Amino acid sequence: MTGLMPTDADLIPTERMQWILDRLAKEDSGLGDPTLLPAPEGRELAEQTNTRWNSDLPEMSVRELSIEAPEGHSIQCRLMSPENADGLIMFVHGGGWAFCSMATHDRAARLLALEAGAHVLTFDYRLAPEAPFPAGLMDCKSVWAAVTAGNPDLAACSGPRALAGDSAGANLAQALLLMLQEEQLPAPDAALLFYGVYDANFETASYLGQKDGPGLTRAKMMRYWDWYVAGAADRMSPLVSPLQASDEQLRKLPPLFLNAAAIDPLRSDTENLVRRLRSLGRTDPYTLYPGVVHGFMQMSLELPEARKAAAEAGRAFRELTGS
């Protein structure tokens, strides 16, 4: 579905999505809301609950590596390489800038690598609230610098390059595009952005219509934002809220591929970004997936729409980069 506004039917979970939601409600009964726990405990819970999506991993070459950041710390990375890989996608995981890791997104990243026919590089950036903005973004910049500077561990990853990310990872990827543009640094050939956070406006149609979930809620997002960037004025920076970027900044972005879940408080963020891009004459492809919730691409073991979204993202990588 490519329209900008979902129908009432799109907001009803598919039969399989409802089955998954019922299963999660049963499995997670009594675990509580991780955003209401101290961050380390919430993080541990997020790791625990995401293990269910990371079995039966697609086989490919996997290499662990470390990148040294200018601030003096090491960033742990994982390079996933299917056979005959051409090009590289730097994938930024989501989790509200506070949770999740390479491990929680392992299967999703491998599927993207298979569908794109490209190497996928994932990494563990610093997380809020212990490391609020701009720590995570600066780690993204450090990893991208290693990609473009010919890091010897990535020497075999020739071909086109792209950024990708889901949810808060899409926010970081989009912010990195704007930072690279501002600092006149090498940019990727394209970006793949999945159900991203692009603004700190909690009064959008989807924030109000899907405020109670299922899954992600308006209240959870507000808590994530408080951990990442507490000050209202600071949230107006395009590096925090990419929808605050100027028309000129958006015009200069590389080709984008965007998707959104219909049953998601963040849906309007993507819709509003697509409207801005189209108003500027851009034709970046966009897909709205009806009947699914935020984070659905994690659910590829059980959800057909997740596998379809991975395939569409892989195809977009090849089409947008000409590979």
Mean pLDDT over 51-63 rounds to 97
Distance CA 156, CA 82 (A): 13
Q: How far is CA 203 from CA 8, 98, 147, 197, 267, in A?
A: 19, 23, 38, 14, 12
Token pair of 299 as six digits: 């659910």
In terms of Cβ atoms closer than 10 Å to its own Cβ (0-12, 13-18, 19+), residue 26 is exposed
Mean pLDDT over 55-76 rounds to 97
Distance CA 114, CA 85 (A): 8
| Letter string b/e over residues 275-305, b meaning 16 or more CB atoms within 10 A of that residue's CB | ebbeeeeeebbbbbbbbbbbbbbbbbeebeb
In this predicted structure, the answer to whether residue 1 has a pLDDT above a threshold of 80 is: no
Residue 222 has a pLDDT of 98
Q: How confident is the model at residue 2 (pLDDT cuts 50, 70, 90)?
A: low
Question: Any alpha helices (H) in the chain, and if so which ranges?
Answer: 15-27, 39-50, 106-116, 135-148, 168-182, 205-209, 218-228, 247-251, 267-279, 304-321
Give the tens place of pLDDT for each residue, 83-124: 999 999 999 999 999 999 999 999 999 999 999 999 999 999
Q: How confident is the model at residue 156 (pLDDT cuts 50, 70, 90)?
A: confident
Q: How confident is the model at residue 307 (pLDDT cuts 50, 70, 90)?
A: very high
Average pLDDT, the chain: 97
In this predicted structure, the answer to whether residue 155 has a pLDDT above a threshold of 90 is: no
Give the tens place of pLDDT for each residue, 182-227: 999 999 999 999 999 999 999 999 999 999 999 999 999 999 999 9
In terms of Cβ atoms closer than 10 Å to its own Cβ (0-12, 13-18, 19+), residue 250 is buried
Distance CA 177, CA 119 (A): 20
Q: How far is CA 90 from CA 118, 123, 161, 296, in A?
A: 10, 9, 8, 20
In this predicted structure, the answer to whether residue 234 has a pLDDT above a threshold of 60 is: yes
Q: pLDDT over 90 for what percent of the chain?
A: 96
Question: What amino acid is encoded at 175 in this protein?
Answer: A
DSSP per residue, 273-286: HHHHHHHTT----E
